[in-house]
Structure 1
């Protein structure tokens, strides 16, 4: 900070508010702290009695907060985001599309470890609607060393993208519903309507639903039939508990599925199974998906619809944050469920 003549202040940054007083009319700020002085401002400063002012001088080693924030946001933003105008050293990022929010948490932490920089985001791996504010990139001081911005840009380049919103793909979903009580018509299937509603919300559709008894061979045949029809994902319902006659996992294995995980560290949803037939995922859903608004299904399915192939590690990481409190009014995804990974 230094005092300069207003005649020399063009392009420099005010370190303080400048007050204008017009007797009997007004008293207020003529220029805000952080304002970059323009040539046309000089006469007004003189008119209100300011021949000398205190400024930060922006040069090749220093950046004004708004210029730095713009560079910050541009480096951080990947696909599916739009940037707001810089104001007071901050640029907000909003979802340009409805999709799955992805945040590179490791890179985010490295950037926030750089002094005088701050990036705050929503949790990763949740569906966000177009227009949702998902992050803010903030410069703390009025001016910042250019080198710090170069550091964050290098981190973002190494880990691109730091943040993005991935569009969900339109999958054709094959459903295998097991249970002799449903197959023989003793009770009505309640799982199908739940799945249809959720997949419609995510932009996908049910290709075909097949009802089979609790028989591993029949389950395997149904899965193979759906694969032959061109299903992009297969969901099995029923038969996922530890009862001896719950044979859905055996049916998935018999059909040739590669089991990634049987059991998940989430409540509700511990009896979940994930398998793959080549690149085609098979989700074995426990009964809780039918009557709980938010379960492991809501944590896993959107990521697959966004084009991710999940590993066992992806499932095990759900344990931190994997306890749903089953609130009277569900606020998911505006809660901690599944956000600890």
Structure 2
């Protein structure tokens, strides 16, 4: 509001491209060449020259927008940038706005953390959009985590302030935690016990060891030792206690996880004193996975699919364990929604 008491409104003016020479573009302009290129041809703020006219017409532009922002309004780029700045937390990076969008990416390898309640609350505001990946999964450095975007070219600043308030209230309620972040994975040393009389006696070759070793290595952890046991509960229990004494960070047990009479592994894990969080997960492949804690050490009972399927319930839970998260029965029960992978 000026001295005259009149509230100035944002003016979005349309002009012919031939009359836009010398004027600054109100937004990015995209060029699309089917099958070859899609990207920014002109950046917001670019001052149109006579040489630009043919290129503008090539992308179908006969008219352009010029804009005069009123106090209390934000350009789409500025709105998206402010939203990204509010959301981004530990080990998250982002760059310049592009067509009203800012992409937040993982700054390093780790576990993606996305506050679902924040995403839903921001999207309920209208005029701004926040799209994210599903949290709780492993991401590599450079992978997208979220993208903030303004829907109209001009957004009321109050709308962005409301989004920033949602993020601030989440932080306050969660000890300063960020709504979008990446948790680093710890390097853990695991002991693997492969059960099964047929493997123990050498009737068939072990395939669990190489598969588990490769899986741990891709997350920066190590298979420190592998042992073998026949299908005998007492023998399995002794091996598990041996792993405890060795001080390994995690214990993995392969084989004997089904309901066949010779499969002793789940009972032996219980006999060893483990607090079993869940035997069975609502996910395929990997429904017969067991997870629990043995004297505070994470312990997995691994089903056979871990040997040959590229993505199982083990791949869902392992990165969370490596990130130091405690796994609850309720979280495992929730894995059924979206848990069909075959």
When structure 1 is superposed on structure 2, of 114-123 and 158-167 the one drifting more is: 158-167
Deviation, 1:284, is: 0.4
The yes-or-no answer on 1:130 pairing with 2:141 is: yes
Q: Contact (CA 8 Å) 1:13, 1:64: kept in 2 or not?
A: no
Q: How many Å apart are 1:191 and its aligned residue?
A: 0.3
2:182 aligns with: 165
Tell me which of 12, 15, 31 is aligned to 2:24: 31
Q: Hey, what does 1:145 align to over in structure 2?
A: 156
Q: Distance in 2 between matches of 1:139 and 1:105?
A: 19
Q: Which residue in 2 is equivalent to 1:15?
A: 12
Which one of the candidate residues 102, 110, 114 is aligned to 2:125?
A: 114
Equivalent residues of 1:16, 1:32 under 8 A apart: no
- In 1, the alpha carbon distance for the partners of 2:213 and 2:15 equals 61
Q: Which stretch of structure 1 is more off in the superposition, 13-22 or 194-203?
A: 13-22
CA shift, 1:113, in A, is 0.6
* TM-score normalised by the chain length of structure 1: 0.81
After TM superposition, the score normalised by the length of structure 2 is: 0.81
Q: Distance in 1 between matches of 2:182 and 2:335?
A: 20
Q: Deviations over 1:299-320 (max 9, x none)?
A: 1111111111100011110111
- Let me know the Cα RMSD of the aligned residues: 2.8
Q: Distance in 1 between matches of 2:218 and 2:161?
A: 41
TM-superposed CA distance for 1:20, in Å, is 5.9
Residue of structure 1 in register with 2:241 after alignment: 224
Please list the CA deviations of residues 231-283 of structure 1 after superposition, one character each: whole Å capped at 9, or x if unmatched: 11111000101012211111111111001001111111111111112431101
Displaced runs of 4 or more, over 6 A: 35-38
Q: 1:152 to 1:279 in 2, by over 3 A?
A: farther
Structure 1: segments with no counterpart, 5+ residues: 1-11, 45-52, 326-341
Residues 14, 83 of structure 1: CA spacing in aligned structure 2 closer, same or farther, 3 A cutoff?
farther
Shift, 1:150, TM fit: 1.7
What do residues 274-297 of structure 1 show as CA deviations (whole Å, max 9, x unaligned)? 111243110101111112121111
Evaluate the alpha carbon distance shift between residue 226 and residue 37 of structure 1 in structure 2; reply closer, same or farther with a 3 A threshold: closer
Q: Structure 1 residues 294 and 13, CA, compared in 2 at 3 Å: closer, same or farther?
A: same
Q: CA deviation at 1:124?
A: 1.9
Is residue 299 of structure 2 the alignment partner of residue 261 of structure 1? no
C-alpha distance in 2, partners of 1:20/1:270? Answer: 61
Determine if contact 1:216/1:250 at 8 Å carries over to the other structure. yes
**How many residues are treated as equivalent by the alignment?**
301
Query: Residue in 2 aligned with 1:246?
Result: 263
Q: Is the 8 A contact 2:12 2:67 kept in 1?
A: yes
Q: Output the CA distance in 2 between the equivalents of 1:282 and 1:248.
A: 12
Distance 1:97 1:240 in 2: 35
Distance in 1 (alpha carbons) for counterparts of 2:170 and 2:233: 44
Q: Distance in 2 between matches of 1:28 and 1:19?
A: 10
Q: Mind listing any 5+ residue stretches in structure 2 that lack a counterpart?
A: 1-8, 29-42, 50-64, 172-177
Aligned to 1:211: 228
Higher mean Cα deviation, 123-132 or 250-259?
123-132
Once residues 110 and 278 of structure 1 are traced to their aligned partners in structure 2, the CA distance between those partners, rounded to angstroms, is 40
CA contact (8 A) 1:268 1:288 kept: yes
